[in-house]
Amino acid sequence: MITGDAAYIKKINRSVIMKEILKAGMISRADLSKVTALTRATISAQAADLLDKGLIVETQLEHHLVGRKPTMISINAKAGYALGIDLEFGRITFMLTDLLGRRVSSKIIPIETTGYAEILALLIDHIANYKKDYTDSRYGIVGIVIAVHGLVSTDEMIHYIPRLKWKQANLKQDLEQALGIDIHLENNANLSAFAERVFIHHETDNLLCATLYSGIGMGMILNNKFFRGHNGFAGEIGHMIVVPGGKPCGCGNQGCWEKYASETSIFETLSAKKQIPNVTYEQIGQWINEGDTEVHEIMEQFIYYLSIGLNNMINIYNPDVVVLESNLLRIYPDSFQKIKKNLNSQISHYRDLFISSLEEKSSIMGACALAIRDFLDVPILNLPYKD
């Protein structure tokens, strides 16, 4: 026998057990043995260890049948906290959750700078405060994940954040050196896709999530794992060319998808048409409700170009589920039906298309969920969603 086999098997068994407890919410030892195909002795030994570590709790169910009251086990949500951070242009959002992904606190910090040093100092200050303030649980803050709206390499180096103009920034290293704790960075679209899988689409192995807010990013969960590509830069689907020789893009090409089908492009078009700076969702909703012909035409073009890109995505990846992150789609009547009507290729196959119910919280919820998954060391994480 190779040294370490027993420890490795124990770790694998624990991972399987934790996955099933999370999936069920609350489950008996007997049922755990059935769904995991592990012996009752293995389940009892693992449960005793997890109880000792404070990671699960026992509850006796009240019932009126004859016999012993069943003892159920569940995750101890109060054993620690996950900290998610969404680093955006103009603001940083912090969210703290328990180990079941339920929000404990959240706050938004406006920022008026794009300077790396200033934002780094701000992050250090707030993370240090969270670390100090949330020590009332056994494990404190179990993980910190930052959602980055840009290119993040496989070694978690920031390659480029367009709106902040950051290039080759080692934010992970700088934060870890200052704070003495592990920090993880991940692309925001990947985290949005992860949140959709963890909180909503539990039976999905292959999921694509297109975020349409500041540009277009695509998070990909394939076989229940992130698909990042060679260097970690996969998913920059917004720079797929849909109009050859079209509008110039900051990436250097012309006719990129995000110049026609991102919310930013629609806001820019409407601001120019209406001669109003900083158009809001509320204004667009009002124009739509008033039957403004010009606005309806722009929205129809948005749907048209969005459908072209979605058709390409579906044909390339053949996903179970496609999720769209867009407030404009939520406020434009029948947008969902219009998109589905446009996806009528005989060779285009997917199971379901959804407009996200997580809205703009998805990336930070995904950040918290990733911290929980890594701490509990489970291959697949299913958590209940409560707004």
Residues in the chain: 387
pLDDT of residue 2: 42
Domain boundaries, the chain: 5-75, 80-192+362-376, 202-358
CATH fit for domain 5-75, picks 1.10.10.10, 3.40.50.720, 3.40.50.2300, 2.120.10.70: 1.10.10.10
Instruction: Answer yes or no: are the C-beta atoms of 132 and 138 closer than 8 Å.
Output: no
pLDDT of residue 71: 85
H or E element at residue 60? strand 56-60
Q: Is the pLDDT of residue 65 over 70?
A: no
Q: Which of 130, 75, 65 is nearest to 104 (CA)?
A: 130
Exposed, middle or buried, 70 (CB in 10 Å: 0-12/13-18/19+)? middle
Rounded distance between C-alpha atoms, residue 67 and residue 319, angstroms: 48
- Note the Cα 332 to chain centre separation in Å: 24
What average pLDDT score do residues 5-26 get? 90
CATH fit for domain 202-358, picks 3.20.130.10, 3.40.640.10, 3.20.20.140, 3.30.420.40: 3.30.420.40
| Segment 337-360, tens digit of pLDDT | 999 888 876 666 778 899 999 988
pLDDT of residue 350: 78
Q: Is the pLDDT of residue 3 over 50?
A: no
| Segment 122-154, tens digit of pLDDT | 999 999 999 999 999 999 999 999 999 989 999
CA 189 to each of CA 5, 40, 144: distance values in angstroms, whole numbers, following the listed order: 37, 41, 17
Q: Which two tokens stand for residue 274?
A: 């209406």
CA 178 to each of CA 18, 83, 134: distance values in angstroms, whole numbers, following the listed order: 33, 17, 19
* 5-75 and 202-358 have identical folds: no
Least confident of 52-66, 106-120, 201-215: 52-66
Q: Which two tokens stand for residue 175?
A: 């934060």
- The sheet with strand 27-28 has its strands ordered as 27-28, 71-75, 56-60
List of residues 6+ apart from 203 with CB closer than 8 A: none
Q: Which two tokens stand for residue 259?
A: 């110049």
What average pLDDT score do residues 257-285 get? 94
Instruction: Answer yes or no: are the C-beta atoms of 369 and 199 closer than 8 Å.
Output: yes
Instruction: Answer yes or no: are the C-beta atoms of 179 and 127 closer than 8 Å.
Output: yes
| Segment 214-233, tens digit of pLDDT | 889 999 999 999 988 888 88
pLDDT of residue 347: 61
Q: Is the pLDDT of residue 89 over 70?
A: yes
CATH architecture of 80-192+362-376: 2-Layer Sandwich (3.30)
Rounded distance between C-alpha atoms, residue 198 and residue 221, angstroms: 11
| Segment 157-188, tens digit of pLDDT | 999 998 899 999 999 999 999 999 999 999 99
Q: Is the pLDDT of residue 205 over 70?
A: yes
pLDDT of residue 1: 34
pLDDT of residue 245: 94
